[in-house]
Amino acid sequence: QVQLVESGGGSVQAGGSLRLSCAASGYTYSKYSLAWFRQAPGNLREAVATIDDDGITTYADSVKGRFTISQDNADNTLYLQMNSLKPEDTAIYYCAASTRRLQWWLLSESDEYNYWGQGTQVTVSS
């Protein structure tokens, strides 16, 4: 059974940094896409960053140059390094995994991901 467990959320002031982790267990697909999504109160869930088994990454325009997605295949962990945080980054952050490598036009579609973590809260104060 696949499980995704996020950690690393918290409260920081604007300009600060946080590193989110997503530990995966039971996930053994050779072709896949992984992603970080976020959802703020009253907003739809949006894709923040994605990475596939080839290491190709994509980012939402709002986080380009500030966030970095990476993966450590040795310990099956997905990371999101978040720098220069802004109050508008405040949201619950979720990691997600698909069982196939998604085409680029599907990477931001939450319905294309098969597994989700429970979410971790990130709060950025001004």
Q: How far apart are CA 124 and CA 126, in angstroms?
A: 7
Predicted confidence at residue 14, as pLDDT, reads: 98
Q: Is 88 exposed, middle or buried (0-12, 13-18, 19+ CB in 10 A)?
A: exposed
At 19 the pLDDT is 98
% of the chain surpassing 70 pLDDT: 100
**Nearest partner of 18 among 90, 75, 118, judged by Cα:** 90
pLDDT for 28: 79
pLDDT value of position 124: 98
What's the mean pLDDT in 44-63? 96
